[in-house]
């Protein structure tokens, strides 16, 4: 599926999106180093293909934003990654991507992995910060172990 948004193309799905394009996007938003080994390209591509939903935004041939979701497609979903290149931020692109995700499971429970500087953005997208005493969410961050072992 393709749709137009403010002169950009939004594409649904991961088919044909190569790992090097994903890595370039991650690098440009500061998530990874450009000097990562080539074998990680395949890992990024597999992450996209195995996601429940992926939306990417393109300015001609350049991926300028993306979101990927992991979900059971019935009750719960988690926004794993949402990235918008710096020069495209503040134009409603990130919110549009979140809205497209929420349309996939409008009555489901949604989670997002984010950092405190993004809380206000997600609040605008109808997310709430649960009281810590009300939350049963816990996390194991395997990437820390991977980094210590030289895999990242």
Contacts of 47 (CB under 8 A, 6+ apart): 22, 68, 80
Name the pairing type of β-strands 109-112 and 76-84: parallel
Q: For the segment 134-151, what is each residue's pLDDT rounded down to a tens digit?
A: 666 666 667 778 778 877
Q: For the segment 26-73, what is each residue's pLDDT rounded down to a tens digit?
A: 999 988 877 888 888 899 999 999 999 999 999 999 999 999 999 999
Q: Which domain holds residue 117?
A: 2-148
The total number of structural domains in the chain stands at 1
Rounded distance between C-alpha atoms, residue 42 and residue 37, angstroms: 10
Complete DSSP assignment for 30-96: TSS-TT--THHHHHHHHHHHTSSEEEEEEETTEEEEEEEEEE-SSSEEEEEEEEE-GGGTTSSHHHH
106: domain CATH number? 3.40.630.30
């Amino acid at each position: 599926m393709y749709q137009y948004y403010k002169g950009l193309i939004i594409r649904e799905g991961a088919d044909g999106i190569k790992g090097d394009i994903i890595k370039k996007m991650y690098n440009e938003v500061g998530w990874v180093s450009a000097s990562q080994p080539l074998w990680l390209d395949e890992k990024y591509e597999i992450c996209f293909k195995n996601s429940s939903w992926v939306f990417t935004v393109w300015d001609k041939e350049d991926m300028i934003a993306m979101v990927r979701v992991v979900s059971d497609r019935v009750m719960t979903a988690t926004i794993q990654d949402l990235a918008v290149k710096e020069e495209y931020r503040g134009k409603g692109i990130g919110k549009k991507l979140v809205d497209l995700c929420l349309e996939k499971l409008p009555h489901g429970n949604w989670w997002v992995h984010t950092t405190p500087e993004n809380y206000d953005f997600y609040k605008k997208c109808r997310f709430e910060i649960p009281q810590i005493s009300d939350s049963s969410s816990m996390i194991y961050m395997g990437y820390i172990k991977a980094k210590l072992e030289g895999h990242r």
